[in-house]
């Protein structure tokens, strides 16, 4: 039985994805040149992994030999919930670790492809391989890159991206030419001026970098404006997100810390961290670094250090 692009998209939507597109697997030369220029300018800060395997990042056939198609899905992670505390956590961390459940969903799509084409080869990526997922979402007709360097769509930017590389040829979607126009809200709203100019983010200044990735001692002295994991400022201010709607599928995956009050953050034990943040992306930060950041934000809030972290 022939499997069509339409079949794949219908299945993706039935699995809880918000959108699905398919792009022809070709080397992304212009995108690679731009990325390389950013690396040469040092915008990657201490994220040395961005400097490795750049050729692979923009050539899917180097990840999956014979790759012909890149299937791209978007998952809306909005739950419609808010933290009750003054401490801020990026909305994508409100749900269980997306690496796991998105991969599981995509494995069901791969099963469809394998049933229709027993000789097919497929590779799933969910922010877990050297591949430029945002650029492939653009090539698959799902959106465009905004001035905050994030994927923008007609339905906002609160999306996680997953891909399936395959050596099966499918009908391809056309790239949609669009942009942010004259809007500069994200550039102007960033409290640390990390968006140094449209489409260019200085990672070393970015709040998300300091609250998730930065392992250096200076991390604890950086002002993150109450953010303790990630940052949503440039997305919250974006007009594209004005009408973003919660995803019912995401509601089934809510983490256990959303009920936290200030005192819960400030008196968090290691056991509570492991229990309440389990299956969450927040555990990437580890307990010690997370509580260091909480202590720093507490000082910003009321000038009193957390005795547990002294």
- Residues labelled as active-site residues: 127
- Euclidean distance between the first and the last CA atom of the chain, given in angstroms as a whole number: 65
Judging by DSSP bridges, how do beta strands 69-76 and 159-166 pair with one another?
antiparallel
Q: Where are the beta strands (DSSP E) in the chain?
A: 19-24, 69-76, 88-89, 122-125, 144-145, 151-152, 159-166, 195-197, 200-201, 227-229
* CA separation for the pair 96, 102 (Å, rounded): 10
Q: Please choose, from the candidates 125, 207, 220, the residue with its C-alpha nearest in 3D space to the C-alpha of residue 166.
A: 125
* 91 dihedral zone (left: phi>0; alpha: psi -120 to 50; beta): alpha
Question: Phi and psi (nearest 5°) for 267?
Answer: -115, 25
Radius of gyration of the chain measured on its C-alpha atoms? 20
Q: Which tokens go with 254?
A: 């809510």
- Token digits of residue 38: 């950013």
Question: Distance between CA atoms of 298 and 291, rounded to whole angstroms?
Answer: 10
CA distances from 192 to 202, 209, 293 (A): 10, 12, 17
What does the DSSP 8-state code read for residue 228? Answer: E
């Amino acid at each position: 039985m022939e499997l069509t692009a339409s079949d794949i998209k219908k299945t993706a939507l039935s699995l809880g994805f918000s959108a699905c597109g398919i792009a022809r697997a070709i080397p992304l030369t212009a995108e690679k040149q731009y990325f390389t220029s950013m690396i040469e300018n040092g915008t990657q800060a201490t994220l040395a992994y961005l400097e490795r395997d750049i050729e692979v990042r923009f050539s899917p056939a180097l990840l999956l030999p014979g790759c012909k198609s890149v299937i791209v899905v978007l998952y809306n992670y909005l739950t419609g919930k808010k933290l009750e505390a003054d401490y801020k956590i990026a909305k994508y961390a409100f749900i269980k670790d997306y690496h796991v459940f998105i991969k599981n969903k995509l494995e069901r799509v791969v099963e469809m492809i394998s049933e229709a084409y027993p000789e097919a080869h497929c590779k799933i990526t969910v922010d877990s391989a050297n591949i430029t997922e945002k650029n492939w979402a653009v090539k698959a007709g799902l959106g465009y890159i905004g001035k905050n360097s994030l994927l923008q769509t007609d339905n906002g930017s609160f999306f996680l991206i997953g891909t399936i590389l395959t050596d099966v040829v499918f009908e391809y979607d056309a790239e949609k030419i669009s942009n942010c126009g004259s809007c500069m809200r994200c550039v102007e709203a960033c409290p640390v001026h990390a968006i140094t100019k449209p489409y260019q983010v200085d990672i070393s200044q970015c709040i998300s970098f300091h609250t998730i990735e930065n392992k250096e001692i200076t991390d604890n002295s950086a002002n993150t404006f109450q953010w303790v994991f990630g940052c949503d400022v440039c997305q919250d201010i974006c007009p594209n997100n004005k009408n973003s709607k919660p995803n019912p599928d995401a509601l089934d995956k809510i983490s256990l810390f959303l009920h936290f009050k200030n005192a819960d953050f400030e008196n968090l034990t290691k056991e509570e961290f492991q229990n309440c943040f389990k299956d969450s992306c927040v555990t990437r930060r580890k307990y010690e670094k997370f509580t260091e950041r909480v202590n720093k934000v507490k000082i910003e809030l009321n000038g009193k250090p957390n005795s547990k972290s002294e």
